[in-house]
Amino acid sequence: MLSIPESISIPESISIPLGQPVFVQALRYTALFDQKPFAEALLIYTDNGAYKIMSPGEDHYGSYVSYTDVAANPQHVIFLSWPSEDWDRNVASHTLTFNPDSAAFTQVLVLPGNPVPRSQYGYALPTPDPQSVDMAASWGQVRDTYADIFGQLEILTAAR
């Protein structure tokens, strides 16, 4: 017979190691979800499947699984955000497909309890030396650090 304990202690939080950055992409969206109207973002992939994304209005973490080697320029990645204020203390699922030849990407966003996925797309470029990214920097700091790459993305989107 199975014995069920009278009380189970459930922690209010858990600690998750972030790993070391292995790939960083600057993103420029040309089509956006109306509740997240931030054209630029920085996406940081770590070596243990954790990620961080930053934009003028987002700064959260999550987990990812890539169909290809992330350090060799990812092509199809599934992201699941961890509960954060960015998503009203809930999660969100994002599937991004990158075209390495054109730098274009498509993104499908799924929110809990919402049966209609949201589509977004734009362009992405890798940053040099991903190990040097400052994981504790503010959006303004990373925007300044990668200003040249965001400028390249602006030119790329205007040309298309």
At 97-139, the pLDDT tens digits run: 999 899 999 999 998 888 888 899 999 999 999 999 999 999 9
CATH number at residue 73: 2.40.128
Q: Report if residue 94 sits inside a domain.
A: yes
Domain count, the chain: 1
Q: Report if residue 75 sits inside a domain.
A: yes
The Cα–Cα gap between 87 and 94 comes to 12
Q: Report if residue 47 sits inside a domain.
A: yes
Q: Write down the pLDDT at residue 154.
A: 95
Q: Report if residue 15 sits inside a domain.
A: no
Q: Write down the pLDDT at residue 2.
A: 61
Q: Report if residue 9 sits inside a domain.
A: no
Q: Which domain holds residue 70?
A: 21-127+136-159
β-pair partners for 108: 95, 119
Q: Report if residue 12 sits inside a domain.
A: no
DSSP assignment of the chain, as one string? -----S-----S--------EEEEEEEEEEE--TT---SEEEEEEETTSEEEEEETTEEEEEEEEESS-GGG--SEEEEEEPSBGGGTTB--EEEEEE-TTT-EEEEEEE-TT--S-EEEEEEEEEPS-GGG--TT--HHHHHHHTHHHHHHHHHHHHH-
Q: Write down the pLDDT at residue 125.
A: 96
Strands 58-66 and 104-110: unpaired
Please provide the size of the chain in residues: 160
Contact 93, 109 (CB under 8 A): yes
Contact 2, 22 (CB under 8 A): no
Spell out, as residue ranges, where the chain has pLDDT lower than 50. Answer: none
The Cα–Cα gap between 62 and 45 comes to 10
Q: Report if residue 80 sits inside a domain.
A: yes
Q: Report if residue 34 sits inside a domain.
A: yes
